[in-house]
A = this chain, B = another copy of it.
Amino acid sequence: MVKIRKELRDLEVYVPGKPIEELQREMGLRKVVKLASNENAFGPSPKALEALKSAIYNVHRYPDDGCFSLREKLSERLNVKGENLIFGNGSDELIILAMRAFLERGEGVILAEPTYLLYRIAAKAAGLKVETVPLKDMRYDLETMASRISEDTRLILVSNPNNPTGTYVTRGEVESFIEEVPNDVLLFFDEAYYEFALGGEYPNTIEYLGRGNIITSRTFAKIYGLAGLRIGYAVADREVADVINRIREPFNVNLLGQAAALAALDDEEYADFVRRETDKGKKYLYEEFSRLGLAYVPSATNFVLVRIGPRAGEVYQRLLREGIIVRQMDAWKLNDYIRVTVGREEENRFFIERLETILRG
């Protein structure tokens, strides 16, 4: 038997939200509502769908390895150069690639807790030393994170807005933080929910380009409804982008992902619609949670973390039996909570109705 690298022997595995088909198989259910993975409940961007209808005839060709058309359009949109962009098989891949490009085994990464689970898993797989800083009032505590920077520190990951709390750090907080972070420490802003959080005090970290140590990643998975196609991107200074581009797998972004993303960028109307519907859905969920006496964390995203109490695990299981998939929070050590993705109106109502029955039962 071949030898397995030491740090991989007892690696945690990322456990995704349960797929709809899996619950259908397991419980013999027909109707299943999935509010577990912060997917876009309203479907893919219609313009992306139109593009897919013709692009499918071309899948015998390899994708454009350089994402030429998408790079051109996105660089115009973001007002950055093409050389500042990196495309990934989902923005998750960009996080993993950044670790592989810039960190040696044993070097340090600072993470918040709780935050997106992949950070810790990827850091462990890369053999990195992980330092965690608890959230403060359910928000990233950038001040404490900065104070933990040591000689070893090479990377700080910031999920903004944070998954699973839905909260964000403000422009002012980020700007003070950036000043505290030495130039040779990579600062990775994971902004998967950027388009939901826009406005108010929410920062646009692409503006900090030019400092040589900042990466901002975003995705087509959420507001554009293309999670299944695995396409995300990052913006970074040329030297940083170039190294990641050199170590990524050739053709890492599939052909249909590129075609759909290109079309989705022209679908701002759809993004506006999703934002409006999500806001309506959140308002409804907030009101209902309050009526049911449940505390929740006000969210800048398309999901809400809600405190169920000691029965959270049981409630999660009973919702499953009713055909409703939400996210159980044990892996984040938020055992009293569930996280629910904002769905379509009827899905939100169905969820609240069953939740109420279960809580009263």
Interface positions of A (Cβ within 8 A of B)? 1-5, 8, 11, 13-14, 16-17, 19-22, 34, 37, 39-44, 48-49, 52-53, 56-65, 68-69, 89-90, 92-93, 96, 100-105, 118, 125, 154, 183-186, 212-213, 221, 225-230, 237, 239-240, 243, 245-247, 249-252, 254-257, 260
Contacts and interface: CB of A to CB of B under 8 A. Distances in A.
B2 A240 contact: yes
16 contacts: A1-B239, A2-B212, A4-B102, A4-B243, A5-B101, A14-B65, A42-B60, A43-B60, A44-B57, A59-B228, A61-B227, A62-B221, A89-B254, A96-B249, A125-B247, A254-B257
Given A4-B243, A62-B16, A62-B227, A251 B39 contact: no
A246 B105 CA distance: 18
A184 B3 contact: yes
Nearest to A214: B2
A207 to B, nearest CB: 19
Q: Looking at A48, A183, A255, which has the most chain B CB atoms within 10 Å of its CB?
A: A255
A57 B63 contact: no
B57 A39 contact: no
Secondary structure at the A interface, as helix, strand, loop or mixed, is: loop
A245 B11 CA distance: 11
B249 A228 contact: no
A185 B104 contact: no
A325 to B, nearest CB: 11
A101 to B, nearest CB: 6
A88 to B, nearest CB: 9
A42 B254 CA distance: 19
A118 B227 CA distance: 28
Contact of A92 (B249, B254, B256): B249
Contacts of A1: 183-184, 212-213, 237, 239-240
Nearest to A19: B64
10 tightest A-B CB contacts, nearest first: A228-B255, A60-B225, A59-B228, A1-B212, A14-B250, A52-B56, A230-B254, A40-B60, A62-B227, A2-B186
A13 to B, nearest CB: 5
